[in-house]
């Protein structure tokens, strides 16, 4: 058997954060995600979901965000999400644009500065 014959299932990014509760509030209250699992006392790991999207938060003391995207989120209305995030004063790293590779997208940061790339297929 080779790796090319193995079926792959779900994969979800794990995002390091410095304050689990603050991050939960952002992903829940701003992005509309739901906490589906927590681990630790105090909590050090969380799984959040919305529709088909899932992400994991892990507590990392002293975490400093890099200049790279940690996740790519496909949506059906990039413009609508962009406006929603602007209204909630979320930091936008790359403005909404239509790219020549067929996606409308932008990049935003969570409260820890983790960059999330958003994309919507263009018709």
Q: Mean pLDDT over residues 4-22, rounded?
A: 90
Structure-block tokens of residue 70? 């940690």
For the full predicted model, state whether its pTM sits above 0.75.
yes
Report CA 21 to chain centroid distance, whole Å: 16
CB 120 within 8 A of CB 99: no
The average confidence (pLDDT) of the chain is: 94
Is residue 71's pLDDT more than 70?
yes
Q: How far apart are the first and last CA of the chain?
A: 39
Is residue 53's pLDDT more than 90?
yes
Is residue 123's pLDDT more than 90?
no
Sorted by where each starts, the structural domains of the chain and their CATH numbers stand as 3-121 (3.10.180.10)
Cα 32 to Cα 51: distance, rounded to the nearest angstrom: 10
């Amino acid at each position: 058997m080779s790796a090319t014959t193995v079926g792959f299932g779900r994969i979800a990014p794990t995002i390091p954060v410095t304050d689990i509760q603050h991050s939960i509030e952002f992903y829940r209250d701003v992005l509309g995600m739901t906490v589906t699992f927590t681990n630790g006392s105090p909590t050090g790991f969380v799984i959040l979901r919305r529709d088909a999207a899932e992400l994991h938060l892990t507590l990392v003391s002293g975490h400093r965000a890099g200049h790279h995207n940690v996740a790519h989120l496909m949506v059906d209305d990039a413009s609508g999400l962009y406006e929603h995030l602007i209204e909630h004063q979320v930091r936008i790293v790359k403005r909404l644009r239509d790219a020549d590779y067929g996606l409308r997208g932008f990049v935003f940061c969570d409260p820890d500065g983790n960059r999330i790339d958003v994309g919507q297929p263009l018709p």
